[in-house]
C-alpha cells in the first residue's frame, strides 16, 4: 500500500471521488424527506384514530424509543463508517451477510415501482385540479343526456372519478384490461421528474431536496390554519385525540405501532445507509438519528391534526346535508313554508310529527343522521387521499386552490421518499461497479429509471390498483422486518458490539451509552422477533382476498370481497419471500466458494509436498 497512507492528501483525494453532501443541511433534509412520506399523511392518522386516539401514542412512542431510533442510529452509523451502499456494507461486515444488501436492493427496486405509480395518480389529480368546477364534483351525463351515468349516481361523484375516470378499474383481478394511456403518460412524466432529480446522484437530489422536503411543511401549515377555521374541525380533532385506554389491551394495536414506526422511518431498505455513506467520516450520526426520527414523528402528529380537522369539517358538512335532505322531505310532504324547519328545531318537529302522523313519516324513509357515523367513515391509504379528502375539498370555498395545494404536497412528499428509494438502488449498483467505469453516471441512472418505468407499466393496466395493493401489502412487510433483524444481529454479534462502539466513538467523539447498547443487544432484536412472529401469526391464517369495485354487484357501491385466484396467491407468496431469499442464497454461495478454495489450497499443499519429497 505504497500510496495510501503516505501523503494523506492522496488518500483523501481517493476518498474525494466518492460524492459528498454540499452541507449538513442537505443530508439531514434528505433523511427527513425519505422518512417523511405519504404514510405520515394517510396511514398514521388513521391508525391513531382507530386505535384509541391519544392512547395510541403510548405504544407508538415506546416503539420509537426501543426500536425505531436504535435501528436508525445503527444504519446511519454503519453507512457512515464503511462508506458504501447497502451491498458493500454488508459484504464488508461479513461476506456471508452480503445477501442482506442484495435483498435491500431488490426491495428498494420493488418499492420504487409501486410507490411511483401512486405518485403518478397524485400527478393525475394535480393536473385535473386546475379547473373550476373540479371534475370530481359532478357526474357526467349519460348517452342520451337525460340523466347522469348510472354508476356515478349509484356511488358518488368522487368514487366514480377515482374508480372509473382515473383507474377505469375492472371488476376482477383476472381481467387485466388494457393499458390506460393517461396513466401511462403520467407515469412517464413521474419517472422523468425522478430522473431529473437523481440524474447525478446526490449532487442533483441535494439541490432538489431543499424544495421537496420543506415545501410540504409550508403547505401543511397553510392547511392547518384553514382547517382549524372550518366548522366541524373541533369535532374532528376531539374524535382523533380522545384517548381510549381500553384499546391498548389488544395486541393488534402494539403490532401496528411497531410496524408503523418501522415503515415510517423507512428502515432496512438501504436508503439511509446510502445517504450516510456520503457523509464525512467524523459526523455526529447519533444526533442526526435522534433529530430525524423525532422530526418524522412530529410531522406525523402535525399531519394528523391537519387531516382530522378537514375530516371533521367533512363529517359536519355531510351531517348538515343529511339533515337538510330530511328537512326538505318533511317540508315537501307536509307543505310547511319554505325554510321553516331549521337544523336546530328539526329534532323537535320530527318527534312531534312522529307522534301525530306516524304513517306518513315512516313512509318518507328518512335517513338517520348521526355525526358519529360520519366521523367513523375515515379511511386510510389511497381511499383517504383520493376519495375522502377530495370530497372534503369540494365543499371548501376556493376548492381548486386547495386541491392544487394538497396534491402538490402529496407529490413533493412522495418525491423526497422516492429519492431515498432510488439512492438505495443506485448507490449499491455504483459501488458494485456493475457497469464499467467509463459509463457516465447519467447513463446509469437513466438506465435504472428506464427499467423501473418499463416494469411499472403493469400498474397502468385496468387491474393495476389490485396489483398495487398486493405489492403494498406483501412486498415490504415481512422482508423489511427480516432484514432489520439480520442487520441488528449482523452488526452486534458478527461485527462485534465493542468494535462498533469504538467506531462510533471515533466518529462522534463519545462512546454510545447504556441505552444504546442495551437496545442494540437485547431490546431491539427481541422486539423484532416478537413483531416477526406476531406478523406471521396474524398474516398466515387470514384468507388472501381483495375488495373489488364491481358495478354489477348487488350491494354496489360496497366493494365486493373476493378471494385471490391461485396464481395470484403464488405471486403474493413469491413477493413476500423472494427478497429475503437472497440471504441464504448468498450465504450458501459464499460457503461453497470458501470450501472450494479450501479444497484447492489443500490440493496445492499436497502437490507441493509430493514435489518436495520427490526432489529430496
Q: Contact residues for another protein (CB under 8 A)? A: 1-5, 10-11, 13-15, 82-84, 88, 91-95, 124, 127-128, 130-131, 140-141, 145-148, 185-186, 189, 192-193, 195-196, 199-200, 204, 281, 331-332, 335-339, 440-442, 494-496, 499, 502-503, 506, 594, 597-598, 601-602, 604-605, 608-609, 612
Beta-bridge partners for 93: none
Which residue's CB is nearer to another protein, number 95 or number 383?
95
* Beta carbon of residue 256, minimum distance to another protein (angstroms, whole number): 37
Q: Kindly list the distances between the CA atom of residue 65 and the CA atoms of 59, 71, 297, 527, in Å, as whole numbers in the listed order.
A: 10, 10, 11, 12
Which residue's CB is nearer to another protein, number 499 or number 510?
499
How deeply is 440 buried, as exposed, middle or buried, from its count of CB atoms within 10 A (0-12, 13-18, 19+)?
exposed
Place of cell 366514480: 160
* Beta carbon of residue 332, minimum distance to another protein (angstroms, whole number): 7
Which residue's CB is nearer to another protein, number 244 or number 332?
332
Which residue's CB is nearer to another protein, number 82 or number 253?
82
* Beta carbon of residue 306, minimum distance to another protein (angstroms, whole number): 26
**DSSP tag of 461:** B
* Beta carbon of residue 194, minimum distance to another protein (angstroms, whole number): 10
**Cα–Cα dist 58/42, whole Å:** 20
**CB count, 10 Å around CB of 252?**
12
* Beta carbon of residue 557, minimum distance to another protein (angstroms, whole number): 22
* Beta carbon of residue 490, minimum distance to another protein (angstroms, whole number): 12
How deeply is 46 buried, as exposed, middle or buried, from its count of CB atoms within 10 A (0-12, 13-18, 19+)?
buried
* Beta carbon of residue 3, minimum distance to another protein (angstroms, whole number): 4
* Beta carbon of residue 83, minimum distance to another protein (angstroms, whole number): 5
Q: Are 364 and 330 a contacting pair, CB within 8 Å?
A: yes
Which residue's CB is nearer to another protein, number 251 or number 509?
509
Residue 313 neighbours by CB under 8 Å, 6+ apart = 227, 230, 231, 232, 233, 236, 392, 395, 396
Q: Kindly list the distances between the CA atom of residue 434 and the CA atoms of 235, 357, 450, in Å, as whole numbers in the listed order.
A: 56, 82, 16
**Cα–Cα dist 468/69, whole Å:** 29
Q: Are 48 and 228 a contacting pair, CB within 8 Å?
A: no
Which residue's CB is nearer to another protein, number 367 or number 502?
502
Which residue's CB is nearer to another protein, number 357 or number 533?
357
* Beta carbon of residue 189, minimum distance to another protein (angstroms, whole number): 5
Which residue's CB is nearer to another protein, number 352 or number 377?
352
Phi, psi of 452 (to 5 degrees): -65, -45
**Cα–Cα dist 296/44, whole Å:** 11
**Cα–Cα dist 508/286, whole Å:** 8
Chain-centre distance for alpha carbon 366: 41
Q: Kindly list the distances between the CA atom of residue 492 and the CA atoms of 95, 186, 518, 572, 581, in Å, as whole numbers in the listed order.
A: 16, 45, 11, 32, 22
> Which three-class secondary structure state does DSSP give residue 559?
coil
> Which three-class secondary structure state does DSSP give residue 179?
strand
> Which three-class secondary structure state does DSSP give residue 63?
helix
Which residue's CB is nearer to another protein, number 130 or number 175?
130
Which residue's CB is nearer to another protein, number 175 or number 506?
506
* Beta carbon of residue 14, minimum distance to another protein (angstroms, whole number): 4
What ranges make up the beta strands (E) of 16-110? none
Neighbouring C-alpha atoms within 13 Å toward the C-beta of 422: 32
**Cα–Cα dist 395/391, whole Å:** 7
Which residue's CB is nearer to another protein, number 266 or number 460?
460
* Beta carbon of residue 132, minimum distance to another protein (angstroms, whole number): 10
Q: Dmax of the chain from CA atoms?
A: 125
* Beta carbon of residue 473, minimum distance to another protein (angstroms, whole number): 30
Which residue's CB is nearer to another protein, number 70 or number 88?
88
* Beta carbon of residue 302, minimum distance to another protein (angstroms, whole number): 28
Which residue's CB is nearer to another protein, number 145 or number 246?
145
DSSP H helix total and E strand total for the chain: 29, 2
Amino acid at each position: 500500500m505504497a500510496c495510501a497512507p503516505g501523503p494523506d492528501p492522496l488518500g483523501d483525494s481517493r476518498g474525494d471521488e466518492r460524492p459528498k453532501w454540499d452541507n449538513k443541511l442537505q443530508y439531514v433534509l434528505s433523511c427527513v424527506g425519505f422518512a417523511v412520506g405519504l404514510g405520515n399523511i394517510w396511514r398514521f392518522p388513521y391508525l391513531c384514530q382507530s386505535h384509541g386516539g391519544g392512547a395510541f401514542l403510548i405504544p407508538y412512542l415506546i416503539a420509537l424509543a426501543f426500536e425505531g431510533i436504535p435501528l436508525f442510529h445503527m444504519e446511519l452509523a454503519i453507512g457512515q463508517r464503511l462508506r458504501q451502499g447497502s451491498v458493500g456494507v454488508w459484504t464488508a461486515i461479513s461476506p456471508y451477510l452480503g445477501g442482506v444488501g442484495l435483498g435491500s436492493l431488490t426491495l428498494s427496486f420493488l418499492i420504487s415501482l409501486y410507490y411511483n405509480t401512486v405518485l403518478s395518480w397524485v400527478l393525475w389529480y394535480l393536473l385535473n385540479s386546475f379547473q373550476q368546477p373540479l371534475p370530481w364534483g359532478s357526474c357526467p351525463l349519460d348517452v342520451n343526456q337525460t340523466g347522469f351515468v348510472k354508476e356515478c349516481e349509484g356511488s358518488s361523484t368522487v368514487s366514480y372519478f377515482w374508480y372509473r375516470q382515473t383507474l377505469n378499474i375492472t371488476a376482477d383481478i383476472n381481467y387485466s384490461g388494457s393499458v390506460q394511456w393517461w396513466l401511462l403518460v403520467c407515469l412517464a412524466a413521474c419517472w422523468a421528474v425522478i430522473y431529473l432529480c437523481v440524474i447525478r446522484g446526490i449532487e442533483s437530489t441535494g439541490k432538489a431536496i431543499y424544495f421537496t422536503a420543506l415545501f410540504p411543511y409550508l403547505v401543511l401549515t397553510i392547511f392547518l390554519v384553514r382547517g382549524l377555521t372550518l366548522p366541524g374541525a373541533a369535532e374532528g380533532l376531539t374524535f382523533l385525540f380522545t384517548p381510549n385506554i381500553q384499546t391498548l389491551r389488544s395486541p393488534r394495536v402494539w403490532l401496528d405501532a411497531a410496524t408503523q414506526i418501522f415503515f415510517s422511518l423507512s428502515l432496512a431498505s438501504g436508503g439511509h445507509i446510502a445517504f450516510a455513506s456520503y457523509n464525512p467520516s467524523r459526523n455526529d450520526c447519533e444526533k442526526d438519528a435522534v433529530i430525524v426520527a423525532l422530526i418524522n414523528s412530529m410531522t406525523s402528529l402535525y399531519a394528523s391534526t391537519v387531516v382530522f380537522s378537514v375530516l371533521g369539517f367533512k363529517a359536519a358538512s355531510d351531517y348538515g346535508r343529511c339533515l337538510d335532505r330530511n328537512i326538505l322531505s318533511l317540508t315537501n310532504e307536509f307543505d310547511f313554508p319554505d325554510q321553516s324547519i331549521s337544523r336546530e328545531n328539526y329534532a323537535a318537529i320530527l318527534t312531534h310529527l312522529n307522534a301525530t302522523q306516524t304513517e306518513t313519516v315512516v313512509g318518507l324513509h328518512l335517513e338517520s343522521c348521526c355525526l358519529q357515523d360520519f366521523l367513523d367513515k375515515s379511511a386510510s391509504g389511497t381511499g383517504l387521499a383520493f376519495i375522502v379528502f377530495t370530497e372534503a375539498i369540494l365543499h371548501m370555498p376556493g376548492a381548486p386552490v386547495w386541491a392544487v395545494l394538497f396534491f402538490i404536497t402529496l407529490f413533493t412528499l412522495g418525491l423526497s421518499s422516492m429519492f431515498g428509494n432510488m439512492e438505495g438502488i443506485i448507490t449499491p449498483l455504483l459501488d458494485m461497479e456493475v457497469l464499467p467505469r467509463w459509463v457516465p453516471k447519467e447513463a446509469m441512472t437513466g438506465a435504472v429509471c428506464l427499467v423501473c418505468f418499463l416494469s411499472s407499466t403493469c400498474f397502468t393496466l385496468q387491474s393495476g390498483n389490485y396489483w398495487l395493493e398486493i405489492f403494498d401489502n406483501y412486498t415490504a412487510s415481512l422482508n423489511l422486518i427480516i432484514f432489520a433483524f439480520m442487520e441488528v444481529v449482523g452488526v452486534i454479534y458478527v461485527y462485534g458490539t465493542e468494535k462498533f462502539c469504538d467506531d462510533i466513538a471515533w466518529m462522534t467523539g463519545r462512546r454510545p451509552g447504556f441505552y444504546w447498547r442495551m437496545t442494540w443487544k437485547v431490546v431491539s432484536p427481541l422486539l423484532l422477533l416478537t413483531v416477526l412472529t406476531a406478523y406471521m401469526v396474524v398474516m398466515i391464517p387470514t384468507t388472501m382476498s381483495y375488495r373489488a369495485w364491481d358495478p354489477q354487484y348487488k350491494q354496489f357501491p360496497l366493494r365486493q370481497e373476493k378471494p385471490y385466484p391461485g396464481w395470484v396467491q403464488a405471486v403474493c407468496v413469491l413477493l413476500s419471500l423472494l427478497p429475503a431469499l437472497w440471504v441464504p442464497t448468498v450465504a450458501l454461495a459464499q460457503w461453497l466458494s470458501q470450501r472450494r478454495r479450501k479444497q484447492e489450497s489443500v490440493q496445492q499443499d499436497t502437490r507441493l509436498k509430493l514435489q518436495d519429497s520427490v526432489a529430496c
